[in-house]
Structure 1
Amino acid sequence: MATSTTQPLTGDEPAGPPPRPGTARRRGALLHRLDLKGAPYAFVAPFFVVFAAFSFYPLVYTFWISLHDVELATLDVMQWVAFDNYVELWGDSRFWNALQNTITIGVISTVPQLLMALGLAHLLNYRMRGSLFFRVASLVPYATSVAAAALVFTMIFERDFGMINWALGSVGIAPVDWEADKWPAQVAISTIVIWRWTGYNALLYLAAMQAIPADRYEAASLDGASRWQQFTHVTVPGIRSTIVFTIVLSTIGATQLFGEPLIFGQGPNGVTGGADNQYQTLGLLLYEEGWKNYQMGRSATVAWAMFLLLLLVFLVQRVVQRVRSRTS
């Protein structure tokens, strides 16, 4: 009778042949390469996933809608019209009026805002008592909601019982209809923007000023430079990149201006930018086309016109920067 000579496996004996040293070394090298080359992509991947979902896809889909005739009530029914919406927008006088209003309100609000922010930051840069309080207080307008700020300023600029007309009447100036007239309305809306964003930009300038080395001011003082000369020849050149950043940021904000004129109009006039569209911006025109006239195709066309306008401003800024760098 034959018997088996195979010994049963015990816990102390290996279940198979040991791994080759070369295989383990290659596996470790592969993991090391993946860690070095793949980890950076893994870290930035969440940003690109969120960007693709909430920025890139809506941008592409908005362009696709702009090539169709689509109504708000029936978004699933699209009629292909190619670039007809863009041609109609180009010949629409309301678009050019809204573009002009956007530019004028942007200039009226941006230039004084940045100049005031630069001066405020220069004052906060000095050592003084309560500087922390003033820095925090400068952020209060920025933290205030657009609706609250616009409602308060609407009452201040009210024609019959507003504080501004009361102050003008006390010095013998006739009341101004801030909502009905074009330029007074744009000045009033610009005032809201200036009040909200001056403190925020001032803190950006202050952070940039504090990064300037102190020895530059000491050298300028030894050369006999006054405070004004130190400001114009040391401070401003030292924060030039921050100034450019705030200009770009303010330009984007001015192009997207929506909440302030909408609430300033107090009702139906807010959507149309007044009875004569005297302060209708591109943002209000987009809202009117999409949510009042129910023409989502034309609304998407206005949105893409705003996007192309920002691209044009960016390209002009880059060209000017290159020309200045070559000449210098």
Structure 2
Amino acid sequence: MRLSKEKAPYLFISPFFILFAIFGAFPILFSFFLSFNQWDGLSAMQFVGFENYLLVLTDPWFWKSIKNTLVIFVLTTIPQHLIALSLAFILNSAKVKFKEFFRSAYFLPYITSSVAVSLIFMTLFGEHYGIINAVLKYVSNFPGVEMLFNLINAELPIRWLNSAKWLKPAIAILITWKFTGWNMIIYYAGIQKIPESLYEAAEVDGASLFDKFFRITLPLLKPIIFFGVTMSIIGNLRIFAEPMILTGGSGGPGQSGLTTAMYLYKTGFEWTQFGVGSSMAYILCALIVTLSLLNNKFFNKEI
């Protein structure tokens, strides 16, 4: 059978739509349908309407997981983008040599397996033999550092993974280390598109490095920053693998490391409450969309 020239292109692109329908659209729609039903994966489904959503919204552990996730989001997003933006600006300088090496080195953590990274950081965060505590103990002898430790109420050795106070910062350090390089590459690409003539004109006017960054680089990078922050909202509110491994799947002391994605996983696949888990997923999706829209509204005023 010969196909007409109008129909032939649709045949060639059909594999994508077939795979998307099976592995993309169907799970999304089925999960939405499942959120209105009670199902353990084996017995017959029972329609319960909005009961699953009401159960999730009145569950104190769900709100605790939301709080944990938002705290980790703030602790990671702000330093992540500040460091990435600074590194990109420095790397763009003509005085920096071996740029290809530094770009690869900073980007390498992003493509490294989350499982491998988490296992390594479990060793680094060790209470008695971890490198991080060893370094902190060494620098604690420097003038002024002990006062800083007292200010933040830090007692050495810090129980990073066994303390409700320090578990979220530990998770935040790992995620910041892993994703800063990705943001740096995005910002570096954006800076590369800024005309060099602007910096040359600024130099003629006697602008300092500080002036170049805040009066040229930062204003012209606002669309890129908007993209980076939006991706951080989507990614950091769905964090799962890193806290799951660092806490051994338990959520840590006082469930201080329990993220919403972890709680969703436990609800659906450990406690086999797939309907409740699906409704939880859509509530989390609504939170991500809301924060993304607020971010969009903020940057639309700034851009």
If the length of structure 2 is used for normalisation, what is the TM-score?
0.87
Q: 1:236 aligns with which of 218, 232, 235?
A: 218
1:324 Cα deviation from its structure 2 partner: 4.8
User: Does residue 1:103 correspond to 2:70, yes or no?
Assistant: yes
Query: Residue type matched to 2:289 in 1?
Result: L
Cα deviation, 1:73-104, whole Å, max 9, x if unaligned, reads x1x62111111011011110001100001100
Separation (CA, whole Å) in 2 of partners of 1:120 and 1:132: 13
Match of 1:8 in 2: none
User: Does residue 1:147 correspond to 2:115, yes or no?
Assistant: yes
Cα deviation, 1:169-223, whole Å, max 9, x if unaligned, reads 3437521211232231011111111111111111111111001111111222222
Q: 2:290 aligns with which of 292, 312, 323?
A: 312
Structure 1 residues 229, 320: closer, same or farther in 2, change over 3 A? Answer: same
User: Does residue 1:199 correspond to 2:210, yes or no?
Assistant: no
Structure 1 residues 116, 310: closer, same or farther in 2, change over 3 A? Answer: same
Match of 2:145 in 1: none
Match of 1:285 in 2: 263
Cα deviation, 1:24-64, whole Å, max 9, x if unaligned, reads xxxxxxx89x59xx96x778766555443332221111011
Separation (CA, whole Å) in 1 of partners of 2:158 and 2:260: 26
User: Does residue 1:163 correspond to 2:145, yes or no?
Assistant: no
Q: Is the 8 A contact 2:233 2:292 kept in 1?
A: no
Match of 1:62 in 2: 31
User: 5+ unaligned residues in a row in structure 1: which ranges?
Assistant: 1-30
Structure 1 residues 201, 324: closer, same or farther in 2, change over 3 A? Answer: closer
Structure 1 residues 320, 168: closer, same or farther in 2, change over 3 A? Answer: closer
Q: What is the 5 A alignment of 1:258-277?
A: 258-266=240-248, 270=249, 272-277=250-255
Q: Percent identity?
A: 33
Structure 1 residues 313, 290: closer, same or farther in 2, change over 3 A? Answer: same
User: Does residue 1:120 correspond to 2:94, yes or no?
Assistant: no
Match of 2:161 in 1: 179
1:227 Cα deviation from its structure 2 partner: 1.1
Separation (CA, whole Å) in 2 of partners of 1:288 and 1:97: 14
Cα deviation, 1:116-135, whole Å, max 9, x if unaligned, reads 00111111101232111111
Separation (CA, whole Å) in 2 of partners of 1:251 and 1:106: 8
Query: Residue type matched to 1:87 in 2?
Result: L
SS in 2 for 1:182: coil
Query: Residue type matched to 1:126 in 2?
Result: S
Q: 1:215 aligns with which of 189, 197, 200?
A: 197
SS in 2 for 1:225: coil
User: 5+ unaligned residues in a row in structure 2: which ranges?
Assistant: 142-154
Separation (CA, whole Å) in 2 of partners of 1:45 and 1:87: 40
Query: Residue type matched to 2:294 in 1?
Result: V
Structure 1 residues 319, 199: closer, same or farther in 2, change over 3 A? Answer: closer
SS in 1 for 2:49: coil
Structure 1 residues 318, 123: closer, same or farther in 2, change over 3 A? Answer: closer
Cα deviation, 1:220-241, whole Å, max 9, x if unaligned, reads 2222221111111111112211
Separation (CA, whole Å) in 2 of partners of 1:217 and 1:50: 48
- The alignment's C-alpha RMSD in Å is 2.2
User: Does residue 1:52 correspond to 2:30, yes or no?
Assistant: no
Separation (CA, whole Å) in 2 of partners of 1:323 and 1:121: 25
Q: 2:47 aligns with which of 66, 80, 85?
A: 80
Separation (CA, whole Å) in 2 of partners of 1:129 and 1:324: 34
Return the index of the structure with the highest Cα Rg.
Answer: 1
Query: Residue type matched to 1:102 in 2?
Result: T
Most deviating of 84-93 and 313-322: 313-322
Match of 1:247 in 2: 229
Separation (CA, whole Å) in 1 of partners of 2:282 and 2:20: 18
Most deviating of 51-60 and 133-142: 51-60
Query: Residue type matched to 2:125 in 1?
Result: F
1:299 Cα deviation from its structure 2 partner: 1.1
Structure 1 residues 191, 222: closer, same or farther in 2, change over 3 A? Answer: same
Query: Residue type matched to 1:104 in 2?
Result: V
Separation (CA, whole Å) in 1 of partners of 2:101 and 2:162: 39
